[in-house]
Amino acid sequence: MGSIVIIGGGWAGCAAAITSRKLGASVTLLERTDMLLGTGLVGGIMRNNGRWTATEETIAMGGGAVFRIIDNTCRFNNIKFPGQENVSIYDLNKIEPKIRKFMTGLGINIKLESRVTDVNLRRKEIESVVLNGDEKKTLKGDIFIEATGSAGPFNICNSYGNGCVMCILRCHTFGGRVSVAQRAGVKEVDALGSKDSIGAMSGSCLVSKDSLSKNVVCKLNEKGVLIVKIPEELRVGGQSGVKACPQYTGKEFIESLIVLDVGYAKLMVPFFPLSSLRKIPGFEKARYIDPLGGTKGNSIRYASISPRENTLKVRGIENLFCAGEKTGPIAGHTEAIITGILGGYNATRLSKGKGLLSLPKESLIGDFISFVNEQMSTEEGLKKRYTFSGSVYFNRMKEIGFYITDRTVIRQRVKKMSFQDAFLNL
C-alpha cells in the first residue's frame, strides 16, 4: 500500500491520519508548529445541537476513534447555553497530549515544525512537498491530504481583520499557512464576509481563570457555563457580521458574556476591549490568553478553499485530497474531524487502487458534504457558514428530519444504508 502524506495537524489532519493508519497505510503527518490540533487547542465545544447526531452517525460508520478520545477528556457533558443543547466541553490542557500519544501508538510518523512551502509536480500529480523553504528538503508521497486550514497567514489578518492578534496559530513564530493546492496550480476561492470582505473572525477568546474572581471561577467549575449580563454602555456592536460561527450571533451573545469552562474561561465573543471587560464584576483583573490581542480582534478564516468533489478529492490534482476548512466555509471541530475521516478513507482507497466513496445524501454526513459543495459554487453561498450546530445547515437538518438524538435510531439508519463500520474496511 502506498504512502500518505498529510499536511496540517489540526483536527482534520489528525482524523485523516488516524483513519488512514488504522486501514493499514503508511502515514506521515506534517505540522508547521510545535503542537497538534491547531485551533482545537482553543476550542473545546463538542456535540452541541446537530453535532451530537453527526458524531453518533460517524461512530456508527466506524469513525469513532477521535470522538472517543474527546469524550474521555471532557470536563462537562450535556450542558446548555443559549441556542445550544447536548453540549460537551473537552479540557484544552489535556487533549493534545492524549491525541498525540494515541497517534504515535498507531505508528503515525508525526513531524512537528515541518512547514510545507511548495510542491513538486509531475503532470497532474504531486510528487513531493518542499519543507521549511529549503528545496533540498523534500518529502515524497503517493497520496497527499491537505488539512492546512483557511486561517491566516498574518497578512490576511492584517488585510481583512483588525491586524495580527497573536493567536494560537503563531504565524510569526512558525511561518504562515501555505496552500498546497494553490502551489499545485489549483485556483481556490475565498469565502465572503460582511460587506463582501474576505473571511470571518474566529468566534471566541480565552481568559485565564486565575485572573477572575473566586465567585466566577467557582460557578464555572460547578456548572461549566456562566451567563453574565453586559451593561448596555459596555456592549460591543457589529460583531455578529464578522463572526465565523453564526450559531453564536444571537441577541443573548450581544447582551451577555457567555463563558464556558474549557480549562480556561472561554468567552463566546470574537473580541472584547479589555478596558470594558475589566468593568464587569468578577472580571476586574481579567487577562487574555488567546488571542493575546483579544481587545481588538481575532484570527481571520475562510481565505483559502479548494474546489473538490464529494469524495474530497481536489479538482485538477489526481493525488490530492482536502479536509477541514479547505473543503468549504464550514465551522467546527466536529465538521473538521468528519471531513478528515472521509479524506483519509478515500486517500487510502486510492492508494490501493480502489474507487472513491461518495457518501449518499440519505446519510447526514453525505448530505452535509454535498450541500456545502453545492452552496459554495455561488457567491451567495460563499457568504454563509455551514455547521451542524446552527444557522443554515442545522435548520436544514431539522426540516428534512436529520436531527436525531436517539443513538439507537441513528445506528439503525446507518445499518439500513449498509454503512455500518464502513470506515474500518476498504
CATH number of residue 355's parent domain: 3.50.50.60
Min mean pLDDT across 132-136, 143-147, 229-233, 238-242 is at 238-242
Residues 283 and 339 in one domain: no
How far, in whole angstroms, is CA 79 from its chain's centroid? 21
Is position 121 within any domain?
A: yes
Instruction: Give the relative orientation of helices 95-106 and 11-22 as an angle to the nearest 10 degrees.
Output: 30
pTM given for the model? 0.97
The pLDDT tens digits of the residues spanning 68-104 come to 999 999 999 999 999 999 999 999 999 999 999 999 9
Q: Are 30 and 111 in contact (CB under 8 A)?
A: yes
Query: Per residue in 15-62, pLDDT tens?
Result: 999 999 999 999 999 999 999 999 999 999 999 999 999 999 999 999
The confidence score (pLDDT) of residue 248 equals 84
Final residue of a structural domain among 290, 314, 345: 290
Residue 387: phi, psi to the nearest 5?
-155, 150
Query: Residue 295 domain-assigned?
Result: no
What is the structure's pLDDT at 24? 96
203 in Cβ contact with 268 (< 8 Å) = yes
Q: Does 245 lie in the same domain as 181? A: no
The residue out of 234, 261, 290 marking a domain boundary is 290
Model pLDDT for residues 231-276, shown as the tens digit of each residue? 999 998 767 668 888 888 888 999 999 999 999 999 999 999 999 9
Q: Which is nearest to 211 in space by CA: 289, 103, 309, 267?
A: 289
One domain for residues 356 and 404: yes
For the chain, the domain total comes to: 2
Phi, psi of 277, rounded to the nearest 5 degrees: -60, -40
pLDDT of residue 268: 95
Please indicate, yes or no, whether residues 162 and 230 belong to a single structural domain of this protein: no
Tens of pLDDT along 175-204? 999 999 999 999 999 987 766 678 899 989
Q: Is residue 72 one of the residues assigned to a domain?
A: yes
Q: What SS3 string covers the chain? A: CCEEEEECCEHHHHHHHHHHHHCCCEEEEEECCCCCEHHHHCCCEECCCHHHHHHHHHHHCCCCHHHHHHHCCEEEEEEEECCEEEEEEECCCCHHHHHHHHHHHHCCEEEECCCEEEEEEECCEEEEEEECCEEEEEEECCEEEECCCCCCCHHHHHHHCCCCCCCCCCHHHHCCCCCHHHHCCCCCECCECHHHCECEECCCEEECHHHCCHHHHHHHHHHCEEEEECCHHHCCCCCCCCECCHHHCCHHHHHEEEEEECCCEEECCCCCCHHHHCCCCCCCCCCEEECCCCCCCCCEECCCECCECCCCEECCCCCEEECHHHHCCECCHHHHHHHHHHHHHHHHHHHCCCCCCCCCCCCHHHHHHHHHHHHCCCCCHHHCCEECCEHHHHHHHHHCCCCCCCHHHHHHHHHHCCCCCHHHCC
Q: 319 and 170 in one domain?
A: yes
Residue 90, phi then psi, degrees to nearest 5: -90, 160
Quick one: pLDDT band at residue 132, thresholds 50, 70, 90?
A: very high
Length of the chain: 426
Mean pLDDT for all residues in the chain: 95
Alpha carbons 262 and 259: distance in angstroms, whole number = 9
Q: Kindly state whether residues 170 and 305 are assigned to the same domain.
A: yes
The Cα–Cα gap between 25 and 225 comes to 41
Q: Is residue 311 one of the residues assigned to a domain?
A: yes
**pLDDT at residue 230 above 80?**
yes
Number of C-beta neighbours around residue 240 at 10 A: 15
Q: Which domain holds residue 376?
A: 3-197+300-424
* pLDDT over 90, % of the chain: 89
For residue 66, is pLDDT > 70? yes
Quick check: is 107 in a domain?
yes
pLDDT band, very low/low/confident/very high, at 423 (cuts 50, 70, 90) = very high
Residues 188 and 213 in one domain: no
Domain boundary, last residue among 257, 290, 323: 290
Residues 36 and 97: their CA atoms lie apart, in Å, by 9
Are both 170 and 240 inside the same structural domain? no
Residue 192: the pLDDT is: 79
Residue 240: per-residue pLDDT: 65
Edge-to-edge strand list for the sheet holding 125-131: 116-122, 125-131, 134-140
Identify whether 304 is part of a domain. yes
Q: Quote the pLDDT of residue 135.
A: 85
User: Do 193 and 207 share a domain, yes or no?
Assistant: no
**CATH number for the domain that contains residue 249:** 2.40.30
Regarding whether 224 and 92 lie in a shared domain, the answer is no
User: pLDDT of 273-316, one tens digit each?
Assistant: 999 999 999 999 999 999 999 999 999 999 999 999 999 999 99
Indicate if 186 and 232 belong to the same structural domain.
no
CA dihedral 205, 210, 211, 213 (to 10 degrees): 110
- Residues 286 and 341 placed together within one structural domain of the fold: no
pLDDT for 194: 65
